């Protein structure tokens, strides 16, 4: 059976390289290395090597998806899209997904609340636009409806703020042309025609 002849730390110092019979065989994260208790002189069967490599690959992939998940709240669809984009073996999907979920890093309700808060503060949009965006992120319709209703958005106020920020665009326009440009702009931001009419008539 192949024998571990050396164990060397990688540059990151979070992983080690395992050499079997004098040749590099595989990399392993420190956690699994400690758990497995591998040391120079140990002999490994082919089955043991295969199982260790699987654990190593899983942890390596988990470290990457963890960084992705912690940049900001993520929806289930965003995580699934990442797995497909990175061509992660399907056999790993369930384990990776469940591990992130246990860490509360996949939660569509929390993600939706965060999304709406970000939009409200930095790029205000109407409920229709928010609903459409969250649907595009793969969030269930019932969750979206619940979160939007809980957010208690004042769309009249948001629409007015949006118009005020862009007022310079229409300052040279008069009458119908001005109202049309403003209405089209608010419509693209997802505000209903009822709200648009109310806000435009006050400007």
Whether residue 9 sits in one domain with residue 83: yes
Whether residue 49 sits in one domain with residue 35: yes
Whether residue 96 sits in one domain with residue 9: yes
Check residue 182 and give its pLDDT: 86
Q: What is the pTM of this model?
A: 0.72
Whether residue 50 sits in one domain with residue 14: yes
pLDDT of 73 > 70? The answer is: yes
- Angle ∠(142,143,144) on CA atoms, nearest 5: 90
Whether residue 75 sits in one domain with residue 20: yes
Whether residue 94 sits in one domain with residue 40: yes
Check residue 29 and give its pLDDT: 86
Domain count, the chain: 3
Q: How far is CA 150 from CA 153, 160, 189, 196, in A?
A: 8, 21, 20, 22
Whether residue 172 sits in one domain with residue 145: no
12-16, 71-75, 169-173: range with lowest mean pLDDT:
169-173
Whether residue 93 sits in one domain with residue 60: yes
| 3-state DSSP percent of the chain in helix, strand and coil, to 5 | 65, 10, 25
pLDDT of 146 > 90? The answer is: yes
* Cα-Cα-Cα-Cα dihedral sign, residues 34, 35, 39, 44: negative
Whether residue 183 sits in one domain with residue 97: no
Whether residue 114 sits in one domain with residue 24: no
Q: Which domain holds residue 178?
A: 155-203
Whether residue 85 sits in one domain with residue 26: yes
The proportion of the chain whose per-residue pLDDT surpasses 70, expressed as a percent, equals: 100
pLDDT of 153 > 90? The answer is: no
Whether residue 73 sits in one domain with residue 27: yes
User: Which residues have CB under 8 Å from 31's CB, separation 6+?
Assistant: 59
Give the neighbor-by-neighbor strand order of the sheet with 4-9.
4-9, 15-20, 23-29
Check residue 117 and give its pLDDT: 93
């Amino acid at each position: 059976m192949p024998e571990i002849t050396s164990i060397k730390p990688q540059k990151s110092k979070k992983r080690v390289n395992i050499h079997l019979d004098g040749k590099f065989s595989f990399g392993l994260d420190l956690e699994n290395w400690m758990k497995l208790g591998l040391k120079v002189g140990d002999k490994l069967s082919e089955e043991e090597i295969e199982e260790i490599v699987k654990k190593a690959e899983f942890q390596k992939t988990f470290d990457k998806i963890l960084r992705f998940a912690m940049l900001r709240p993520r929806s289930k669809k965003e995580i699934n899209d990442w797995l497909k984009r990175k061509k992660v073996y399907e056999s790993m999907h369930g384990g990776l997904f469940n591990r992130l979920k246990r860490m509360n890093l996949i939660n569509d309700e929390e993600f939706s609340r965060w999304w709406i808060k970000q939009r409200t503060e930095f790029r205000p949009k109407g409920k229709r636009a928010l609903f459409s965006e969250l649907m595009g992120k793969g969030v269930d319709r019932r969750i979206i409806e619940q979160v939007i209703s809980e957010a208690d958005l004042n769309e009249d106020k948001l629409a007015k703020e949006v118009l005020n920020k862009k007022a310079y665009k229409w300052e040279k326009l008069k009458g119908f042309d001005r109202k049309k440009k403003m209405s089209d702009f608010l419509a693209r931001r997802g505000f209903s025609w009822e709200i648009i009419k109310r806000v435009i008539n006050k400007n």
